[in-house]
Structure 1
Amino acid sequence: MSKKEIYLVEDSSDFRQLLRGIFTKFLPEYHVRFFQGGQELYQYMVFQSAEQFQGRRPALIILDLQLPNINGVELLKLIRQTPGNSETEWKTIPAVILSGSTSQDDINHCYQAGANSYFVKPIDFEELQTLLKTLCRYWIDYNRLAKAGVPKQILR
């Protein structure tokens, strides 16, 4: 069974290194593709949306809120508006925010832009490890997504 792909957007190299260590040591069943900013992720998404793309498809997208150039809210809007293909439906891929901000306005804006969840970055290492494990287990292992390319029908 191949590893499930996670896209993680974080501009802090120190925090990316910490996250990389947690995934390598404690969550090796997931493959994480790190992006330094929103523009980098968006360019990759456009490339990946081509029908001939043969790489891994994301099962979860984790975003920082405070990013250079394209912030997390703007990036969420782009993710939700990006056309999919027969394999990837960007609108349905879980996208969660992992931010240092506790502002209710930030939280509200993220949900309005299409976030599935909002989490404040824990200060404690073990709490961060537990949060990441819980996030991955829920959104990747237990949650079920609509299949890309299936016509949406109205239930009566």
Structure 2
Amino acid sequence: MSKKEIYLVEDSSDFRQLVRGIFTKFLPDYHVRFFQGAQELYQYMVLQSAEQFKGRRPALIILDLELPTINGFELLKLVRQTPANAETVWKTLPIVILSGTARQEDINRCYQAGANSFFIKPPDFEELHVMLDTLCRYWIDYNRQATNDIVNQISAQ
């Protein structure tokens, strides 16, 4: 099986390192591409939208809400508005918000903007490991995405 690509947008280098360790040791069937912020992710999205792009396509985006410059909420809206290409349907690609805070207003805004799930960052390593394993299994292994044709039909209505 080829590794499934996960985009993780997180500005904390310590948290990125912790997540990298979990995937390396416990979740080797998945490949995580780390981004420090919104601009870095969006530039890569533009690159991977080109027809000649030969890299892995994302199966899941895990997005921190508290990001510098462009926050996670604004990035979420931007990703959802990005036109689909032959390989990636940004409008329906699973996006999970992973936040250090649980303000109901933030949770509601994220769901209204197109988030598929909202999680609070777990306080310990084992809980984070279980959560990441669960997210990957559900959104990548079990969940099925609509095809680009269906998404275009729905958008046209």
TM-score by length of 2: 0.94
Q: Which amino acid aligns with 2:153?
A: K
1:49 and 1:83 in contact (8 A); partners too:
no
Q: Which amino acid aligns with 1:27?
A: L
Give the alignment of 1:39-58 within 5 angstroms: 39-58=39-58
Counterpart of 1:152?
Answer: 153
Per-residue CA deviation, residues 101-120 of structure 1 (Å, 9 max, x unaligned), is 11001101111111000000
Unaligned stretches of 5+ in structure 1? none
Unaligned stretches of 5+ in structure 2? none
Counterpart of 1:132?
Answer: 132
Counterpart of 1:32?
Answer: 32
Q: CA deviation at 1:152?
A: 2.3
CA distance in 1, matches of 2:70, 2:58: 20
Compute the RMSD of aligned alpha carbons.
1.3
Larger proportion of helix: 2
Counterpart of 1:101?
Answer: 101
- Identity percentage of aligned residues: 77
Q: CA deviation at 1:153?
A: 6.2
CA distance in 2, matches of 1:107, 1:153: 25
The alignment partner of 2:153 has SS state of coil
TM-score by length of 1: 0.95
Give the ranges of 4+ consecutive aligned residues of structure 1 lying more than 4 Å apart after TM superposition: none
Count of aligned positions: 154
